[in-house]
Amino acid sequence: MKKYFLLIGPKNYLFEKGKFNTEYGIVDLRKAKVGNRIKSSAGKIFYVTEPSILDMMHKASRGPQVVLPKDAGAIIAATGCSPGWRVVDAGAGSGFLSMFLANLGCKVYSYENRKQFYEVAKKNVSKFGKDVTIYHKDISKGIKEKNADLITLDLENPEKVLKHASKTLRIGGWVVVYSMHVEQVKKVIKELKKYNFSDPGIIENVWISWQSKGEATRPRTHLGHTGFLTFARKVGP
């Protein structure tokens, strides 16, 4: 993974070392270190710091719709996902969820059936991620890994993967399905009942951001809903 710096100033930028043109003048990072205070050629002040995984995701390429940090955080909170967990993630999409979980300290195995999205995810992981293995495979045909702690599914027809998930997960392990609509949630719940999973839980994770401009403070004008998360735990062999 390449070394990047986050510049915090009138506008935030993610750069490697070098000289860069910005709308606030030229910024010289050739001798920069974390903690430095840098003045651009236009006299604007920037501070050099280490980027977080979320900062780097802003620089990553995007193909299909991604699982946003609010939903990734809900997955971690609901399952107790911890450093050292073995995680199977499908479909990889742009690789955002895989990178987020790997940054937590998980060993992630990611499946993506569509060639164009596989290439996007592979590129992102090579530049910004760590400890992620990506397969260009259809996970509905089977899962290579065993004794996984967590399986996350964000793909078409996730119910077709649940029989494989039941064989791959350790007892006590979790499966989490991200769905765009309730009809898909219903299919997933119906299929879960065929295997040794606990009663599923379903959440709609709505995130409402607020803004403060002048003397007016109000919610931002956007839709806080992204999708539904269905959780179930393997309770028997």
Residues 30-44: tens digit of each pLDDT: 888 999 999 999 999
Q: Which residues contact 202 (CB under 8 A, 6 or more apart)?
A: 185, 189, 228, 229, 230, 231
pLDDT of residue 214: 83
Say if residue 106 is in the same domain as residue 29.
no
pLDDT(152) > 60: yes
Report residue 190 as tokens.
């119906």
Say if residue 85 is in the same domain as residue 142.
yes
At 84, is the pLDDT very low, low, confident or very high (cuts 50, 70, 90)? very high
| Closest to 106 measured CA to CA, from 80, 140, 69, 127 | 80
pLDDT of residue 59: 77
Say if residue 147 is in the same domain as residue 212.
yes
The span from the CA of 57 to the CA of 4, in Å, is: 12
Amino acid at 165: A
pLDDT(223) > 80: no
pLDDT(64) > 70: no
Q: Which residues contact 225 (CB under 8 A, 6 or more apart)?
A: 204, 206
pLDDT of residue 224: 81
The span from the CA of 28 to the CA of 9, in Å, is: 14
3-state SS, residue 44: coil
Say if residue 14 is in the same domain as residue 78.
no
Say if residue 82 is in the same domain as residue 169.
yes
CATH of the domain at 10: 3.10.330.20
Report, as an integer, the average pLDDT of 215-233.
88
Percentage, residues of the chain above pLDDT 70: 98
Residues 180-189: tens digit of each pLDDT: 999 999 999 9
Instruction: Please tell me the pTM assigned to this model.
Output: 0.85
- Would you list the DSSP string of 90-108? E--TTSHHHHHHHHHT-EE
Domain, as residue range, for 124: 57-233
- Number of domains within the chain: 2
